Amino acid sequence: MKKFLLLSLVFVFLTGCATMQRAGLAGLGAAGGSFLGPAGAAVGAVGGVIASDVITAQGDPQQVLVGAAGEAVGAPQGTIASTVHESTSFIQTIGWWYLVIFILVPFLTKKGRRWFANLATLHNTASKKDVASAAERLHKVEGMISSLNKEKK
């Protein structure tokens, strides 16, 4: 219990007032909405974050409400917009590195080029001669099976 209290105290001292206000209002909104169930708690938390943005809005608080309603006000502002932007940038960077490391670099090796060449010619891997010989073998096997069935009868 002492460790939890110590960590909580460190958390409070290391966070800013705006972060604590946002977290507190989101928690209060979630607690208020939890009477309606999980969906109500989520809506309440969103309402708490919007209330925090309205309280700390610099300029016109009405723009925050209009932005929360989904109408185009301009570029999104705030910590959530920043987090979404940074996450998008991070995911795009990971995607480009994945493309380079696991898709493009293997094609530089002989094995990768051979695999790609085989993939490109996948639709005509069997010649007519191969198909004809396989059909002939199949007919022979069918003939042997039918002759065995006639002998059993």
Residue 65 shares a structural domain with residue 8: yes
Task: Give pLDDT tens digits for 107-126.
Answer: 888 888 888 777 777 666 67
The helix-helix angle for 38-55 and 17-33 (nearest 10°) equals 150
CB 25, CB 52: distance < 8 Å: yes
Residue 81 inside a domain? The answer is no
The answer to pTM > 0.85 is no
Residue-wise pLDDT for 7-41, tens only, equals: 777 776 766 666 677 777 777 788 888 788 777 88
Q: Give the model confidence (pLDDT) of 51-101 as tens digits.
A: 777 777 665 666 656 555 555 455 666 777 777 778 888 888 888 888 888
- Domain limits for position 136: 121-152
Q: Compute the half-sphere exposure of residue 70: CA atoms within 13 Å on the CB side of its CA.
A: 0
Classified as helix, coil or strand, 58 is coil
> Is 48 or 20 the better-scoring residue by pLDDT?
48
Last residue in a domain, options 56, 75, 94:
75
- Tokens at 63, concatenated: 């723009």
Tell me 127's DSSP state: -
- Cα–Cα separations (whole angstroms), residue 81 to 126, 135, 136: 55, 64, 67
pLDDT grade for 137, boundaries at 50, 70 and 90: very high
Q: Are both 63 and 125 inside the same structural domain?
A: no
- Which letter does DSSP use for residue 34 in this model? G
In this structure, is residue 43 part of a structural domain?
yes
Query: How many folded domains does the chain comprise?
Result: 2
**Structure confidence at residue 140 as a pLDDT band (50, 70, 90):** very high
Co-location of 4 and 71 in the same domain: yes
Residue 72: per-residue pLDDT: 47
